[in-house]
Structure 1
Amino acid sequence: MKFLVTLYQDEDGVFVAECPSIPGCVSQGRTEAEAEANIREAIQQCLEVRAEKGMPLTVQTRQVEVVV
C-alpha cells in the first residue's frame, strides 16, 4: 500500500512524520531519513492494530489549498 506522509521539522529540530489517512499515526526522528523509516514502522503497526480491532484501516483525506 502507498501512503502520503507529511514531514516537517519542529521548533526543537526534530523531524516529525504524520500519515493523515491513518488517524493518530505519527512518528519522529533526528533526521528526515530516520523520521521516514520510523513512520513506515508506525504505519505497519497502526494498520495491524486497526485490523485487530475491526476498525477501518484508513480514512479518506484530501488536500486543499488555503490562502491566508
Structure 2
Amino acid sequence: MNKYEVVMYWSAADDAYIAEVPELPGCMADGKTRAEALAAVERVIDEWLETAAALGRTIPESKGRLQYA
C-alpha cells in the first residue's frame, strides 16, 4: 500500500472520478466509481515509482497529509 496522499473529485467534463497524487507530478487516474479511481491510481503510483527508479530520478518521500490554502 502506498502512503502518498490521494485527492479525489468528480469531473463532469470526463464523466468520471479523478484521483490525483499531488506529491508525484503527473500521477493521476480516473474511474467510473470512486473505488475504480482509487484502484487505478494505486496501480499508477506503483508504475510512477518504478519508472522514476528506472530513470534514476529522485522519488519524493511521502509527507502524509498535505495542507492546502
**TM-score bracket relative to the smaller structure:** 0.7 to 0.9
Higher RCO (CA < 8 A, seq sep 6+): 2
What code does the residue aligned with 1:4 have?
E
Q: Structure 1: any 5+ residue segments left out of the alignment?
A: none
1:64 counterpart = 2:65: no
- Report the TM-score, using the length of structure 1 for normalisation: 0.84
1:4 counterpart = 2:5: yes
* Matches of 1:18 and 1:64, distance apart in 2: 14
Describe the superposition over 1:15-35 as per-residue Cα deviations: whole angstroms up to 9, x where unpaired: 000001111101000000000
Q: Structure 2: any 5+ residue segments left out of the alignment?
A: none
Please name the residue that 2:17 is paired with.
Answer: 15
- Report the TM-score, using the length of structure 2 for normalisation: 0.83
CA-based RMSD of the aligned residues comes to 1.8
Aligned pair count reads 65
